[in-house]
Structure 1
């Protein structure tokens, strides 16, 4: 039997050299590249894989001087983010998607963003990471859970409610983040007051331009979305049942605008539980709840 592992290592070595060339613009011949690859074929380690990131143009969503990195902050911080990435995916019964970090030494503020791509990856900016960390790492968990929610939407074609802007998708992602923060197999926060401040940081990145295609929802709408997601976190839901229940209560029952048909995902016990918070949710979604009240919800 042929040694397939040897071939795989050899090809990885070639890939490593090719990627470095795209950053350094070296012009070695193919023969020289092959010699280097053969010399490194047994040394494709984690250190080499990390170096693959530390170079190159990212894409049009980021500054021309930005680059990808496999690390953020200290090694323990990097491990924390990667562990959370895997846990968030597991809560939804999905494999984790690649999580990379974007840095820009020339213009650090240009990385104040986090983007979920339809191709199945998440890029997380260093500037937004550092700003969120100042509020406690739970703020970064909130943002990461929100971005992974978009991966669920890409995979399953959610949200089931369509609007002329991105609001429905963004509010559902807020709700899914709130859901993850409560789940026992997620971030396991049993009191909403433990996550409210962190969510305020995430919501501050939004906007009030209601006609913009990328509109995320007004601040009080985002507040009500994450609160509803947190309440739904009292129950074990898959992505389909979350999508149904989120919009059933957020857009239908609570504002009384229409009555939806009950689907296979309707749960009488859950319905009774959510309706017990109906007045509170309406107060939040109408912008009538004060910051103090919101931050002290149970």
Structure 2
């Protein structure tokens, strides 16, 4: 009898702590951005979303998602990228529960991360999380500056965000291409079909690689990065342009320009899919 009472006490205690932990993680409904009651109520009209889905009806605002250490790492990278790109304070919110495989950047100046997306990125390592952070911060750059992106390609907004992501990874996270390429493996699984606003997987790989290469020999303002990115992007997308001599832009130094020129054929072959995903992973720095 004594053992039975002890067992019942332990079960009750376990339930109590589990319940407290759950309640601790769920914020009040008014703690979301702009006092929006639930993540599923977010208006996606003025957003750039990492995937094409919205948050599900069972999602909720949370203090942390996946687990505290992962959320802390996410917040650290979020703040680091905001500082690196000169964005100041960019509020970040967390959507927990099911139906949260997305991260969204809003024109109102904040970013919302979903738990399922963060869990997916975590499966590819911290570098993948850092990359998605920079990609979403790039959308904040685009929202705040009407001159960015300066190109009207159907996928310009997303491909440039991929480029900004590669640039950030090289500047602030790793100079090892194997690690950097691994960071992008998660993202390319979310690419769209040809003509999609998100670009195809090969197109996105090439944009990411270009951003990474631009970072190797230079540091740029957001507008100069935009200008340089699309200058070279437009050239290597069309095979015929590869045979023409490219004048160095004023916004980049000669060493950086020569480095990009030495990779133009490679970038074109990534873009067209001639360089496979496996070969992409094994490129030299």
Q: Give the TM-score range, shorter chain.
A: 0.7 to 0.9
* Counterpart position of 1:85: 78
Kindly report the root-mean-square deviation, in angstroms, between the aligned alpha carbons of the 2 structures: 2.5
Structure 2 residue 159 is matched with structure 1 residue 181: no
Is this contact kept in 1: 2:92–2:110, CA < 8 A?
yes
Which deviates more, 281-290 or 58-67?
Answer: 58-67
Is this contact kept in 2: 1:84–1:141, CA < 8 A?
yes
* Counterpart position of 2:214: 232
Structure 2 residue 191 is matched with structure 1 residue 191: no
Is this contact kept in 2: 1:254–1:278, CA < 8 A?
no
Distance 1:48 1:127, change over 3 A: closer
Task: Choose the corresponding residue for 2:191, options 171, 196, 206.
Answer: 206
Does the residue aligned with 1:123 lie in a helix, a strand or coil? strand
Instruction: Note the residue ranges of structure 1 that are not aligned, 5 or more in a row.
Output: 1-46
Instruction: Note the residue ranges of structure 2 that are not aligned, 5 or more in a row.
Output: 1-23, 44-53
Is this contact kept in 1: 2:25–2:62, CA < 8 A?
no
TM-score (norm 2): 0.77
Question: Deviation of residue 193 (structure 1)?
Answer: 1.2
TM-score (norm 1): 0.74
Which deviates more, 85-94 or 54-63?
Answer: 54-63
Does the residue aligned with 2:87 lie in a helix, a strand or coil? coil
Question: Deviation of residue 53 (structure 1)?
Answer: 3.5
Aligned length, in residue pairs: 240
Distance 1:276 1:259, change over 3 A: closer
Question: Deviation of residue 276 (structure 1)?
Answer: 1.1
* Counterpart position of 2:138: 149
The whole-number CA distance in structure 2 between the counterparts of 1:262 and 1:289 is 26
The whole-number CA distance in structure 1 between the counterparts of 2:60 and 2:26 is 15
* Counterpart position of 1:22: none
The whole-number CA distance in structure 2 between the counterparts of 1:73 and 1:130 is 6
Question: Deviation of residue 281 (structure 1)?
Answer: 1.0
Task: Choose the corresponding residue for 1:218, options 197, 200, 214.
Answer: 200
Structure of greater relative contact order (alpha carbons < 8 Å, 6+ residues apart): 2
Does the residue aligned with 1:93 lie in a helix, a strand or coil? coil
Structure 2 residue 236 is matched with structure 1 residue 247: no
